[in-house]
Amino acid sequence: MSADARACAMTGASGYLGSRLCRYLTAQGWTVYRLGRAATDPLDVRWSLDGAPPAQFFADTRIDALVHCAWDFRAVRRADIERTNVQGSIRLLDATHRAGVRDLVFISTISAFTGCRSDYGRAKLRVERQTLDLGGTVVRPGLVYGQTPGGMVQALTKAVTALPVVPLIGSGRQLQYLAHEDDLAALVASLLEPGHPVVDTPVIAASEYPLTFREILARLAAADGRHARLVPLPWRALWAGLKAAETVGLRPGFRSDSVVSLVNQDPRPDFAMTRKLGASFRAFRES
């Protein structure tokens, strides 16, 4: 590797968001080492959240930045989330910091905020605190979408295009802040550049102009030439059904904790740091 080459370690690179960030950074000239369970490529490094950090890798390889996207959604119980996702993330961040890696970026969620009620948001908050204590940067993406979406938007798209009637969580008036994957990738890349403004609070990565959950479903259906037939369903009833399925070992396509996140979003996301960085996010379009 040449003296001016830049190397980044990324976790979660096989997932939807991680793969998009990996592709974007590679196009920007970064060498991206992918930390994960599989190792089929010279740039793959074996690591998992429930294991030890790859200390030998950090000792042998000059790494300029870590982008931590990985999260194990198989963990459902709070104790498992704490042991795997929280403690596994903290071990990795600490090891990376000790190795002298210049930039630490933790991809959190807009569902993490003071007073949040979801297990997901609360666990992310604990990792956020460790990241900030180490001088790293926390990014809180909104609902991420793109030309070929994954994650939550993919699940919603499948629902509105496949089901004759789509259950609407609660009233559907919950506000959601959206982030195009390319705009999010550009923000992360800017945070890895020397000389960017000091970032000492979480960065909200989303458009400042929200849509209701109902509006998002209607637009996703319209993109497929459909009219979404939305039937309100009490969110607690939906949560209870999904929770019961998870308790007996089933893994529905939509998690019970995601219901909690959707109906308990941050009522006033703080975009001050987003504006300070000059980050811009396009308005949501059906396509």
* Residue 66 reports pLDDT greater than 80: yes
Q: What is the pTM of this model?
A: 0.94
Q: Is 283 part of any domain?
A: no
Q: Is residue 1 part of a domain?
A: no
Count of structural domains, the chain: 1
Q: Flag whether 287 is in a domain.
A: no
Q: What residues form DSSP beta bridges with 176?
A: 211
- Provide the mean pLDDT of the chain: 92
Residue 244 in 3-state DSSP?
helix
pLDDT in tens, 252-272: 778 899 889 988 999 899 999
Say if 61 falls within a structural domain. yes
Domain that holds residue 198: 6-277
User: Residue 172: left if φ>0, alpha if ψ -120 to 50, beta else—which one?
Assistant: left
Cα–Cα dist 164/77, whole Å:
33
What are the structure tokens assigned to 271, written together?
């975009």
Give dist(CA 10, CA 19) in Å, integer. Answer: 9
CA 229 to chain centre: 29
- Would 90 be classed as within a structural domain? yes
pLDDT at residue 287, as a whole number: 46
165-224 pLDDT tens trace: 888 888 889 999 999 999 999 999 999 998 888 899 999 999 999 999 999 999 998 888
What is the pLDDT at residue 255? 87
- Is 76 a domain residue? yes
Predicted local confidence at residue 170, as pLDDT: 85
**Residue ranges with strand state E in 25-136:** 30-36, 44-46, 65-68, 103-107
Q: Regarding predicted confidence, which is higher, 258 or 45?
A: 45
**pLDDT value for 3:** 47
Q: How many residues does the chain have?
A: 287
> What is the mean pLDDT of the segment spanning 151-159?
88
Q: Is residue 282, in this structure, part of any structural domain at all? A: no
Specify the 3-state DSSP secondary structure of 233.
strand
Identify whether the C-beta of residue 8 lies closer than 8 Å to the C-beta of residue 1. no
**Domain harbouring 61, CATH code:** 3.40.50.720
- Residue 284 forms part of a structural domain: no
| Residue 162 clears pLDDT 60, i.e. is over it | yes
pLDDT at 2: 47
Q: Give the pLDDT confidence score for residue 4 in this predicted structure.
A: 61
Strand partners, 276: none
Percent of the chain with pLDDT over 70: 98
Distance CA 70, CA 85 (A): 8
pLDDT digits (tens, 9 = 90+) for 98-116: 999 999 999 999 999 999 9
The distance from CA 9 to its chain's CA centroid, rounded to whole angstroms, is 16
CA gap 118, 113 in Å, rounded: 10
